[in-house]
Structure 1
Amino acid sequence: MKCSCCQQEIIRNLTFKELLFTFLIKKQRCDFCQKKFTKIPTTACPTCSKPGWQTQCDECKQWQMLYPNYEFCHQALFCYDEAFKEWIYQYKFLGDFRLKATFSSEIQAYFSKRKEWIIVAVPLSKERFLKRGFNQVEAFLQAANVKTQHLLEKKVDSTPQSEKNRQERLAAPQVFRATQEISMVKNKKVVLVDDVYTTGRTLFHAAEILQNYQPKEIQTFSLAR
């Protein structure tokens, strides 16, 4: 079995069940890669998972003023530190598709508590998808056996968020629109998923479109914050 991050062989004793039913062998990280990523600490903003806050952070207070009717709640798994930046660069920008399963165990644990929710991955523009070859968010969800619904599409190919500073990201115009299947969210709970939460602009834009179709609740999720 190979590490889902560095792809090196993991040597361990399999359980009796795993020997009988090989599909039970889950993707996992080696000890080195397991320690490399820092989980969001308990002292984090309760609204957006920003580390270092025990109460709602200043950024969330600003978003609440901008979206007073949106009871937003975001959860992330890991800190957006150097180790995670290196991983996202290899996966997203260098196109190492094997890394889609790196965090499958944690993703499965999160969504196992939301089986009745509609899961929506933040979409790429057609141009970006053709250039990259895959949607990195849909790929890591599929690797964790999480079913998604195609309810949003990106109408323009904008400059990647990674190439913008904070002010440019916050000032970015709305880039999403609803698909024909959007009506299914009425009175349903929805989880919007992205890879990284930095300013929150992308997820708030996506949630803004969904809100027009009367979902019961919207939560957001990302691998890192």
Structure 2
Amino acid sequence: MKCSYCQQEIVRNLTIKELLFPLLIKSERCYLCQEKFKKITAPACPTCCKPGWTTRCEECQQWQAMYPRYDFCHQALFSYDEAFKKWIQQYKFLGDFRLKATFISEIQAYFSHKKGWLVCSIPLSDARFSQRGFNQVEAFLQAAGIKTQDLLEKDVDSTPQSDKNRQERLAAPQVFKATKAAANIKNKKVLLVDDVYTTGRTLFHAAEILQSYQPEKIQTFSLAR
């Protein structure tokens, strides 16, 4: 078995179940790669998981003032530190598609508590998809066996968020529109998924579009914050 990040062989004893049913052997990281990523733990903002806050952070207070009718709640797994930035660079920008499986165990554990939710990954524009060759969010969800719904599309090929400073990200215009499938989300729970939450602008734009279709609830999720 190879580590799902560094691709080095993992040497460990298999369980009896794994020996009898090899398909139960899940993708995993080696000990060194496990240690590289810092999981978000308390204290953290209760509405966006920003580390270091015991109450709603200033950013969330600003978003609440801008979207008073949106009872938002964002959850993330890891801190967006140098180790995670390095993983994003290798996976998303250098196109190492194997890394879609890096966080399968954590993703599956999180989604085990989201039964009945409609999951929608943040879409790429056609131009960006052609350039990259894959949607990095859709890919890590599919690797974890998470079924998704195409509720949004992105027609505008905007400058990547990673190339903008904070003020430019916050000032970015709306780039999403709903697909025909969005008509089916009334009174249903929708979970929007992105790879990283920095300012929150992308996810709030996405939620803004879907809110008009009267879902019961919209929440958001990312691997890192």
TM-score, normalised to structure 1's length?
A: 0.99
- Shift of residue 37 of structure 1? 0.3
CA distance in 1, matches of 2:113, 2:222: 16
| 5+ residue gaps, structure 2 | none
Deviations 1:159-199 (A, max 9, x none): 00000000000000000000111111100001000000000
The letter of the residue matching 1:116 is G
CA distance in 2, matches of 1:43, 1:108: 24
Q: How does 1:171-210 map to 2 (within 5 A)?
A: 171-210=171-210
- Shift of residue 204 of structure 1? 0.1
Q: What does residue 17 of structure 2 align with? A: 17
Q: What does residue 31 of structure 1 align with? A: 31
Q: What does residue 220 of structure 1 align with? A: 220
- Matched position secondary structure for 1:174: coil
- Shift of residue 115 of structure 1? 1.5
TM-score, normalised to structure 2's length?
A: 0.99
- Shift of residue 222 of structure 1? 0.2
Q: How does 1:30-179 map to 2 (within 5 A)?
A: 30-179=30-179
The letter of the residue matching 2:222 is S
| 5+ residue gaps, structure 1 | none
Q: Pairwise CA RMSD of aligned residues?
A: 0.4
- Matched position secondary structure for 1:69: coil
Question: How many residues get paired?
Answer: 225
Sequence identity (%): 76
The letter of the residue matching 1:57 is C
